């Protein structure tokens, strides 16, 4: 695609059929105008982060190529969440699907409702582990590698890579 940007979207689900929620989200990502799903990470099961009195999450990262601008992309991600039944309750609460723009090319931006790289990415093993599969060369704005960021989190966040048969793949 001409003038396309490589970006990475975090996916999470802890309500309903979590695997199916992730698969449907990836399928809808691939249907976005000017967008193509390149590949996805394995699926990881993780304990809830922030508010912990809720079911475990399944998380993955999708690598996309898009001609959409960052703000337009976030708007489409939010419409996909709504289409898949997400209802916003409270911060870090349970959800059918959560889609977060993690990286948008090499851009760094902070605008109302949008921070790229995602502001909490370096604190979340459930984002870093799948991102490391797809972008092992990633370095945070402070210069730390994704491997170093994960190492720094240590055992504080339990994360379990699920069998390859549960790898989310784009539906075409």
The residues carrying an active-site annotation are: 86, 95, 98, 100
Per the CB < 8 A criterion, the answer to whether 44 and 159 are in contact is yes
Residue 56: closest CA among 83, 95, 10 = 95
Determine whether 117 is exposed, middle or buried from the number of CB atoms within 10 Å of its CB (0-12, 13-18, 19+): buried
Q: What is the DSSP letter of 2?
A: T
């Amino acid at each position: 695609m001409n003038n396309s940007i490589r970006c990475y979207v975090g996916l999470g689900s802890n309500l309903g059929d979590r695997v199916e929620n992730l698969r449907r989200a990836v399928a809808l990502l691939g249907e976005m105008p000017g967008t193509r799903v390149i590949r996805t990470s394995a699926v990881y099961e993780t304990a809830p982060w922030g508010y912990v009195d809720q079911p475990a999450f399944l998380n993955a990262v999708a690598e996309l190529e898009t001609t959409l601008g960052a703000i337009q992309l976030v708007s489409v991600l939010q419409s996909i969440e709504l289409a898949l039944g997400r209802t916003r309750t409270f911060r870090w609460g349970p959800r059918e699907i959560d889609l977060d723009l993690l990286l948008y090319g090499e851009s760094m931006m902070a605008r109302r409702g949008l921070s790229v790289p995602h502001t909490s990415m370096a604190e979340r093993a459930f984002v870093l582990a799948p991102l490391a599969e797809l972008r092992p060369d990633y370095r945070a704005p402070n210069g730390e590698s994704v491997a170093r960021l994960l190492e720094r989190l240590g055992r504080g966040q339990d994360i379990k890579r699920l069998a390859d048969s549960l790898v989310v793949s784009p539906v075409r």
